[in-house]
């Protein structure tokens, strides 16, 4: 599983800690100098991280390499990539999209976190890539469109994706940035800025 949008590392680290890769107490070292929990995942430093990411646009290419290796080794594993609408602005994403279809790569299941925002503005204002879904179809990817906050829909889409042979799959997940916290939803001010202690308190109350 490659977290191509590496800036979402806190979610990856929390999942890895929960899965037993390292002591959850380490999570409070996030972004500290020398910590294995860097702002962007580093596979050389943290057990369980399969790809170093953070420089956007590279994860899909890495996923293709892993999926091709599976074919050569005649293994049965699936490769998952989590990418984003901001990453659709990276040229490498589209080189990867074309290669995956050309080589009829299956066992490659990608998720597009389609929250319509990127670093400091909407994707529409920064570099509008619409129609996004049609683009993936035109690149000959099998696509599914789901509500990215509905776990049942995610699991169902993955089940369906595993049935697709000879074609890569893009699960386009409609999401809301900052979902569940009223003052964070669709608010880019929180993209790269930590909430204050007060804001954390309020956010946790709302999430609970
Ligand atoms: C190659 C590259 N260019 C620029 C950045 C700076 N950057 C960090 S996050 C981000 C926005 C990415 O958009 P998206 O992943 O859609 O953001 P999301 O709302 O999903 O967090 C940018 C441009 C980067 N990490 N890598």
Question: What token pair was written down for 80?
Answer: 């998952």
198 pLDDT band, cuts 50/70/90, is: very high
Q: Whose CA is nearest to atom 17 of ligand 1?
A: 118
As a whole number, mean pLDDT of residues 172-190 equals 95
pLDDT averaged over the chain?
97
CB 73 within 8 A of CB 132: no
Residue 186 has pLDDT above 90, yes or no: no
Atom of ligand 1 nearest to the CA of 113: 20
As a whole number, mean pLDDT of residues 171-185 equals 97
Q: φ, ψ for residue 143 (rounded to 5)?
A: -120, 150
Question: What whole-number percentage of the chain has pLDDT above 90?
Answer: 98
- Please, what sign has the CA dihedral across residues 197, 203, 206, 207? negative
In the reported structure, the alpha carbon of residue 55 is separated from the centroid of ligand 1 by a whole-number distance in angstroms of 8
75 pLDDT band, cuts 50/70/90, is: very high
Q: Whose CA is nearest to atom 16 of ligand 1?
A: 86
As a whole number, mean pLDDT of residues 80-109 equals 98
Atom of ligand 1 nearest to the CA of 119: 11
Determine if ligand 1 sits within 6 Å of the CB of residue 7. Answer: yes
Architecture of domain 2-207: 3-Layer(aba) Sandwich (3.40)
52 pLDDT band, cuts 50/70/90, is: very high
As a whole number, mean pLDDT of residues 131-150 equals 98
């Amino acid at each position: 599983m490659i977290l191509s949008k590496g800036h979402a590392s806190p979610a990856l680290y929390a999942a890895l800690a929960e899965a037993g890769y390292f002591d959850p107490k380490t999570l409070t070292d996030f972004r500290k100098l020398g910590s294995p929990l860097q702002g962007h995942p580093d596979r050389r430093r943290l057990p369980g991280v399969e790809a170093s990411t953070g420089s956007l646009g590279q994860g899909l290419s890495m996923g293709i390499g892993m999926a091709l290796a599976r074919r050569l080794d005649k293994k049965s594993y699936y490769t998952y990539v989590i990418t984003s609408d901001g990453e659709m602005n990276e040229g490498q994403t589209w080189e990867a999209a074309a290669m995956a279809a050309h080589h009829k790569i299956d066992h490659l299941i990608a998720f597009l976190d389609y929250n319509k925002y990127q670093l400091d503005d909407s994707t529409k204002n920064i570099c509008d890539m619409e129609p996004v879904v049609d683009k993936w179809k035109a690149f000959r990817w099998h696509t599914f469109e789901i509500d990215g906050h509905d776990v049942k829909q995610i699991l169902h889409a993955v089940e369906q994706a595993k049935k697709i042979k000879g074609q890569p799959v893009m699960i386009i997940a409609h999401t809301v940035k900052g979902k569940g916290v009223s003052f964070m939803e669709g608010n880019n001010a929180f993209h790269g800025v930590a909430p204050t202690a007060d804001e954390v308190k309020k956010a946790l109350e709302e999430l609970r």
